[in-house]
Structure 1
Amino acid sequence: MEKKITDIFGTLVFDEDVMEERLAKDTFRELQKTMKEGKSLNIKIANAVANAMKDWAVEHGATHYTHWFQPMTGVTAEKHDGFIGTNQNGKVILEFSGKELIKGEPDASSFPNGGLRATFEARGYTAWDPTSYAFIKNGVLCIPTAFCSYSGHALDKKTPLLRSMQAINKQALRILKLFGNENVKNVKTTVGPEQEYFLVDKKYYEQRKDLIYTGRTLFGAPSPKGQEMEDHYFGTIKSRVQEFMNDLNEELWKLGVLVKTEHNEVAPAQHELAPIFSTTNIATDHNQLTMELIQRIAKKHGLVALLHEKPFDGINGSGKHNNWSLSTDTGVNLLEPGDTPHENAQFLLFLCAVIKAADEHQDLLRLSVATAGNDHRLGANEAPPAIISVFLGDELAEILKAIEEDRPYDSKEKEVMKIGAHVLPKFPKDTTDRNRTSPFAFTGNKFEFRMPGSSSSIAGCNIVLNTVIADELKEFADILEKAPDFSSALHALIQGTIKEHKRIIFNGNGYDDSWVEEAKKRGLLNLRTTPDALPYFIKDENIDLFKRHKVFDEEEVHSRYEIMMEEYVKILHIEALTMVNMAQKEILPAVSQYSYDLAQTCAMKTEVAKLENVYEKETLKDVSALLDKAFKATKHLDKVLKEAEAIEDFEKAAFYYRDEVIPAMSALRTPCDELETLTAENVWPFPTYGKLLFGIL
């Protein structure tokens, strides 16, 4: 199997090995400068690269190419153009120019743009991102690109992500220079996103409108068995699921995606896939591919993959744990404790930058993962609460406390921990436990941001992480570069940062109700819902932050705020419409017929045998009462939905959906789920939780 993996890995990727093999040496060197140093690419080089790329793609069966980009829909977009053309004699030829490689012109008005483009202003551009390799998918050469408007505004998730990576690189290099690391030329953020998902049988999925239209179940009584036995987690993978995973791995390996770990998750029918770390930009591209292929390959096995954050009520939802770190081009992980006091002082400074960023920008971290789907998940079961906190583990927290108090740390060498002056102990690695209740946990050489939802692009949270940490590094560099004595200033800076921002450090149980009160006392934000969180995006200080690092301009911030608010409204609108439809056309008619059958049975048994009919009478009474409640709740939901549709202001609409529509949806679900428990299985109009969660054999 090992030989097979090495044989197929990256075979559908136009990577550096392929480039070196197919390009002239000088062309390859110039392309490398573009990829690694951001140097501009002249048209002569672009033409050579495009021709080699086309020849390689055609040899692998491709007939078309596309600029593959990530608009603000959260999914990818592509428009296919054929390599086919004609020469002067009218003969068919295959061609692909450097101009076509570098730039495309898709419609920019039909994607979410938050007012950046009007319908009559349709021109937009896609620009090749040479830092992410081209690849072949479904017989099409896919060229990763950025997407911007005619006026230059970013209309995608890749452009601001690349800007944020550039920002943190710039500020991290300033810090490293102060520590004498002149040989470091580049600092990159790296990510390993763990992807959770559910698998259900396709034949059951197709019988449920809620899954088809919304990706989650809007109705459903609990199954007799859920996850309480804890027997699914890391359990034996069912043969049918394993066959799906094998096919998925093979297709992802061909595309150069470093998927490594697969296992059953906590909830029945839930699974996880995790890759090896890669540069954030590439990790984002690969995660988008992973989600797409999970869904496509599942269908080949008669399955459907659910990427919604909370597809089933009462059991664990699905997240996307964003393992974030910072590494140099010399192979040093800046969040890994070192072997010398000097290295550990550097580690502590970067650690403090992350802690300070998490404390000062709780609002941005929270809103970076805010969606209607994730609102169902955060704070429930294994998902972290909506309150931002940082977990460091007892030992590292104690080290920081010792620094704060200028006292010896109880280790093998009891020295007062003056940064850069006295001996620092060698930091123990991997001595911290993993806190599954923490939204932002240090796990030895990285931070695990556990809040992102399973269906979201990881670009959003990483744009925020990169930017807020870049801002703290800038502030640190500004202070230290002016300091007359570096060691003294460094010690004071680390010590002061710990004192001022220790409130964000919490190593306890984030699920405990007492933490909500404790967090309130500490002054931490508790932004429970998406409408609570998103308005912080357009606060002046946050707009200034993004402008300062050239990640977003003011118009781009406002556009994203509008898009995210409108997306929240649209998702809930679709869900509410689907509930009304399912209730009116499926649940109420089915239960009404069932109650009629009960009444008929009762009447016949009484007439023929003069029986008491306790079961029929009691069930009919209960069913009828619940049927009336469900009918009234359906009418009420339909009423508030029409009122919501009349609200033109997207901000007011979002809060109305939160405060009126969601409670009305809950009020409809309650009697319907009770009716499911009383109605005969052969009468209930769609598959139950039991079939969905345990129906894969």
Structure 2
Amino acid sequence: MTFRSKAFETALSRVAPVLSPPTEKVADLFGSNTFNDDVMRTLLSPEAYTKISNAIKSGSTIDREVADEVSAAMKSWAISKGASHYTHWFQPLTGSTAEKHDSFFDLNADGKAVEKFKGSALVQQEPDASSFPSGGLRATFEARGYTGWDPSSPAFLMDNGAGGKTLCIPSVFISYTGEALDYKAPLLKSLVMLDKAATSVCQFFNRDVDKVIPTLGIEQEYFLVDKALYYARPDLLMAGRTVFGHSPARGQQLDDHYFGSISPRVNAFMADFEFEALKLGIPVRTRHNEVAPGQYECAPTFEEVNLAIDHNALLMDLMQKVGDRHNFQVLFHEKPFAGINGSGKHNNWSLSTDTGINLLAPTSKPKENLRFLTFLLNVVKAVHDHADLLRASISSAGNEHRLGANEAPPSIVSVFLGRELTAMLEDLVNKGEITLEKGENFYYKLGITRIPNLQRDNTDRNRTSPFCFTGNKFEYRAVGSAQNSASPMIVLNTIVANQLLEFKREMDERLAGGEEKKVATVAILKRYFTESKKILFEGNGYSEEWIQEAKERGLSNIRETYDALHAYITDSTIQVFKRIGVLSERELHARYEIELENYVKKLQIESRVIGDLALNHVVSTVVKYQFKLAQTARSLTDLEMLEEAEPIKEIIKDISAHVVVIKKLVQEMTEARKNANGVENLFERAKLYGSVVKGYFEEIRYHVDKLELLIDDEDWPLAKYREMLFLE
């Protein structure tokens, strides 16, 4: 019995576990493993609680005395709930989270065991920074780096299974010289600056607004594969995607998996990780089957951006741990299987005020709609002016497989607003007035009296648009499922903050010149719409016609990651990030180099996996099978059954032809990889990997997948698509 056969039998024997749901109500369960506001209010003195609250709300500094009190309360709370260790939980530029566990246990001067956690340990830790990607900000022999506590994201307890619990403290990660080595530090800076810029613009319409809070809801798509079948695919294990695999007769063409009934085993996994997520304060609300077989999605309630990104990174880690309990491997790669939809991480972004107003929600009041149009058009203008940078923020080796296919937003950045909003903007330009009035809600008349009235939204949804307006928010659909959402959000926050500051400067100049506020606002918005109109697109973003039209409009269509990433180091990008104070020129260049290097390494790994699987798994198996066929053909020939032997000989010839090509292509790919590795310039190396080495991937795959159809099913060494995708 082959390893694949054993894996298939193991997967086939799985049954859905019987879960014991928590006895608490969801409201009581929510946040039970977080050091949240209720816990702080109970355990801290009123003075310390007030200072912590002010730090979270307004960004005021926390002094060391307060940190000592908070650390003592955290330690007491964590130990009472079974924690033995603590860690600064941070998000380095590896794309995953990182943690170094330290024990509360210590020895005092008398050699007696004590439990200790000082304020200094809460505020700052020193993990080794030399082995994390720095893009040249740190030499490999310079190890010192610091993590710093972020009080705006609640500390939480991570259950380590048999290993107990660990107190996790969300933190930033910086180098010895102060540069950001993570996603959180620049994200927090971008949020502060966006708040200031948006609040200053709000003041033109409503003096009561003191704070603007960017909000985010992250829809997470993923695949599930049985653990046994996962381990029967070395490519999934090493590269996160299947480099070979013939499409099954039935894939997603019947559209029967989308929103279909969730299988008991998958549902048990979903319920389990949702309960664990709720304990950690992650407000997961939605679960459903996605378009492709074996593909699923979950989504939370909207949260403040920093918290939403922390929660998504934590959720991905949590899903993997819970998946182990259910013998599932969770796949976050953007394109783990060829021929079916890949996975995205749709980022739904909006702006809300401390007075409860959604700045991207149209209303029935003309004055409020002028405010709405101001923020809407400033976002559109920011995306228009920095489209290439926004494209760079979602560029990766994994997402490169997905973008531009007939399943995901194209590599052309465009904005969808919907017909009604576009008509409103046209009227603003042509007539100088806003003609869209919400008025009475529009209801569908279905002619079925027992069905309640169904209300129509003011915009349709366009799933082919990478950046679309969906009623009261923008949905950035092009983000990859394996990405840290901080990357595109840092860019979006920064370019919108920059644009809002520019709008305020223009308004101040016009008002100082005696122009009436409404007249000045409309004049600026008219110009913004005219200048940005070419990026607005209402049609099918998957169509070939759009590619041609976008070219005629002068929009970029940057297909390759190595080209897209260059936007990080252009003069316009450097100026914007410097002006807003989010990333320095040195930090931008570092991130550019890190992303390029990561791209090279991913393709290097995939190339090695392809060579290994092709020669050591596929070809070796095929040669053995050929020998069996040859023996059969020889026996038939000896029996003078020449006609019966002929089809077998043809199969042998077909197999030989594919094997010869595979060996030739693998050898050429290996030489191309060696040549690329010898190039010192990182961009040129990435270009060689992306344009030459990667060019062999599909060629080799074609011949391997043809062999899958020629070899006896029992002999084929790799778990097949039909087994991985349809065995729930």
TM-score by length of 1: 0.96
| CA apart distance, 1:648 | 2.1
User: 2:127 aligned with 1:106, yes or no?
Assistant: yes
Alpha-carbon distance in structure 1 between the residues aligned to 2:559 and 2:221: 22
CA distance 1:412–1:35, change in 2 (3 Å): closer
Alpha-carbon distance in structure 1 between the residues aligned to 2:279 and 2:300: 14
| CA apart distance, 1:431 | 2.1
Q: Which residue of 1 aligns with 2:602?
A: 571
Preserved CA contact (<8 Å) 2:424 2:436: no
User: 2:502 aligned with 1:496, yes or no?
Assistant: no
User: 2:77 aligned with 1:56, yes or no?
Assistant: yes
CA distance 1:182–1:688, change in 2 (3 Å): same
Q: Which residue of 2 aligns with 1:531?
A: 562
Query: What letter matches 2:701 in structure 1?
Result: R
Query: What letter matches 1:526 in structure 2?
Result: N
Q: Which residue of 2 aligns with 1:418?
A: none
Write out per-residue CA displacement over residues 464-500 of structure 1, whole angstroms, 9 at most, x where no aligned residue.
Answer: 0000011110010001122222121111011111111
- Give runs of ≥4 in structure 1 deviating > 4 Å: 407-414
Alpha-carbon distance in structure 1 between the residues aligned to 2:630 and 2:666: 24
Q: Which residue of 1 aligns with 2:290?
A: 265
SS in 1 for 2:555: coil
Out of 527, 540, 549, the position equivalent to 2:580 is: 549
Query: What letter matches 2:29 in structure 1?
Result: I
Alpha-carbon distance in structure 1 between the residues aligned to 2:701 and 2:641: 38
Q: Which residue of 1 aligns with 2:449?
A: none
| CA apart distance, 1:610 | 2.4
CA distance 1:410–1:86, change in 2 (3 Å): closer
Alpha-carbon distance in structure 2 between the residues aligned to 1:171 and 1:505: 24
Write out per-residue CA displacement over residues 657-685 of structure 1, whole angstroms, 9 at most, x where no aligned residue.
Answer: 11110111222111111111111111111
Q: Which residue of 2 aligns with 1:374?
A: 399
Alpha-carbon distance in structure 2 between the residues aligned to 1:568 and 1:64: 35
User: 2:177 aligned with 1:151, yes or no?
Assistant: yes
Out of 706, 709, 714, the position equivalent to 1:682 is: 714
Query: What letter matches 1:87 in structure 2?
Result: N
Preserved CA contact (<8 Å) 2:364 2:437: no
Out of 618, 622, 636, the position equivalent to 2:654 is: 622
Write out per-residue CA displacement over residues 177-203 of structure 1, whole angstroms, 9 at most, x where no aligned residue.
Answer: 122x23222111110000000001111
Alpha-carbon distance in structure 2 between the residues aligned to 1:190 and 1:317: 26
Query: What letter matches 1:18 in structure 2?
Result: V
Q: Which residue of 1 aligns with 2:310?
A: 285
Q: Which residue of 2 aligns with 1:595?
A: 626
CA distance 1:333–1:641, change in 2 (3 Å): same
Alpha-carbon distance in structure 2 between the residues aligned to 1:15 and 1:7: 13
Out of 336, 341, 353, the position equivalent to 1:316 is: 341
| CA apart distance, 1:413 | 10
User: 2:478 aligned with 1:447, yes or no?
Assistant: no
Preserved CA contact (<8 Å) 1:327 1:334: yes
Moved more, 5-14 or 554-563: 5-14
Query: What letter matches 1:520 in structure 2?
Result: K
Q: Which residue of 2 aligns with 1:211?
A: 236
Give the alignment of 1:9-24 within 5 angstroms.
9-24=30-45
User: 2:452 aligned with 1:431, yes or no?
Assistant: no
CA distance 1:173–1:412, change in 2 (3 Å): closer
User: 2:493 aligned with 1:466, yes or no?
Assistant: yes
Moved more, 624-633 or 571-580: 624-633
Q: Which residue of 2 aligns with 1:420?
A: none
Moved more, 338-347 or 367-376: 338-347
SS in 2 for 1:385: coil
Q: Which residue of 2 aligns with 1:90?
A: 111
Q: Which residue of 2 aligns with 1:244?
A: 269
| CA apart distance, 1:3 | 5.1
Q: Which residue of 1 aligns with 2:616?
A: 585
Preserved CA contact (<8 Å) 1:162 1:281: yes
Preserved CA contact (<8 Å) 1:199 1:304: yes
Preserved CA contact (<8 Å) 2:213 2:352: yes
Write out per-residue CA displacement over residues 61-118 of structure 1, whole angstroms, 9 at most, x where no aligned residue.
Answer: 0010000000000111101111112233322111111111111111111100000001
| CA apart distance, 1:646 | 1.4
Count of aligned pairs between the two proteins: 682
User: 2:534 aligned with 1:508, yes or no?
Assistant: no
Preserved CA contact (<8 Å) 2:432 2:522: no
Write out per-residue CA displacement over residues 414-433 of structure 1, whole angstroms, 9 at most, x where no aligned residue.
Answer: 9xxxxxxxxxxxxx982211
TM-score by length of 2: 0.92
Alpha-carbon distance in structure 1 between the residues aligned to 2:434 and 2:278: 47
| CA apart distance, 1:407 | 6.6
Preserved CA contact (<8 Å) 2:366 2:434: no
Alpha-carbon distance in structure 2 between the residues aligned to 1:304 and 1:650: 34
Query: What letter matches 2:566 in structure 1?
Result: P
Query: What letter matches 1:355 in structure 2?
Result: V
Preserved CA contact (<8 Å) 2:364 2:438: no
Query: What letter matches 2:675 in structure 1?
Result: E
Give the alignment of 1:182-221 within 5 angstroms.
182-221=207-246
Alpha-carbon distance in structure 2 between the residues aligned to 1:413 and 1:611: 81
Q: Which residue of 1 aligns with 2:193?
A: 167
Query: What letter matches 2:497 in structure 1?
Result: A
| CA apart distance, 1:617 | 1.8
Query: What letter matches 2:488 in structure 1?
Result: C
Write out per-residue CA displacement over residues 102-161 of structure 1, whole angstroms, 9 at most, x where no aligned residue.
Answer: 111111111000000012221111111010000000200000000101111001000000
| CA apart distance, 1:338 | 2.5
Alpha-carbon distance in structure 1 between the residues aligned to 2:254 and 2:39: 50
| CA apart distance, 1:305 | 0.7
SS in 2 for 1:217: coil
Out of 96, 102, 123, the position equivalent to 1:75 is: 96
Q: Which residue of 1 aligns with 2:62?
A: 41
Alpha-carbon distance in structure 2 between the residues aligned to 1:505 and 1:614: 61
Moved more, 27-36 or 556-565: 27-36
Alpha-carbon distance in structure 2 between the residues aligned to 1:329 and 1:529: 41
Alpha-carbon distance in structure 1 between the residues aligned to 2:432 and 2:136: 56
Query: What letter matches 1:8 in structure 2?
Result: L
Out of 166, 169, 178, the position equivalent to 1:140 is: 166
Q: Which residue of 1 aligns with 2:446?
A: none
Write out per-residue CA displacement over residues 271-310 of structure 1, whole angstroms, 9 at most, x where no aligned residue.
Answer: 0010000011000100001111111211211111110000
Q: Which residue of 1 aligns with 2:484?
A: 457
Q: What is the aligned-residue RMSD (CA, Å)?
A: 1.5
| CA apart distance, 1:609 | 5.3
Alpha-carbon distance in structure 2 between the residues aligned to 1:100 and 1:631: 56
Unpaired stretches in structure 2, ≥5 consecutive residues: 1-20, 160-164, 440-454
User: 2:328 aligned with 1:296, yes or no?
Assistant: no
Preserved CA contact (<8 Å) 1:337 1:429: no
Q: Which residue of 2 aligns with 1:654?
A: 686
Preserved CA contact (<8 Å) 1:9 1:255: yes
Q: Which residue of 1 aligns with 2:202?
A: 176
Alpha-carbon distance in structure 2 between the residues aligned to 1:273 and 1:128: 29
| CA apart distance, 1:173 | 1.1
Preserved CA contact (<8 Å) 2:425 2:434: no
| CA apart distance, 1:625 | 1.1
Query: What letter matches 1:668 in structure 2?
Result: I
| CA apart distance, 1:7 | 2.5
Alpha-carbon distance in structure 1 between the residues aligned to 2:396 and 2:650: 43
Alpha-carbon distance in structure 1 between the residues aligned to 2:157 and 2:304: 20
Query: What letter matches 1:634 in structure 2?
Result: V
Alpha-carbon distance in structure 2 between the residues aligned to 1:660 and 1:177: 54
Alpha-carbon distance in structure 1 between the residues aligned to 2:704 and 2:525: 57
Alpha-carbon distance in structure 2 between the residues aligned to 1:209 and 1:645: 24
CA distance 1:203–1:413, change in 2 (3 Å): closer
User: 2:28 aligned with 1:7, yes or no?
Assistant: yes
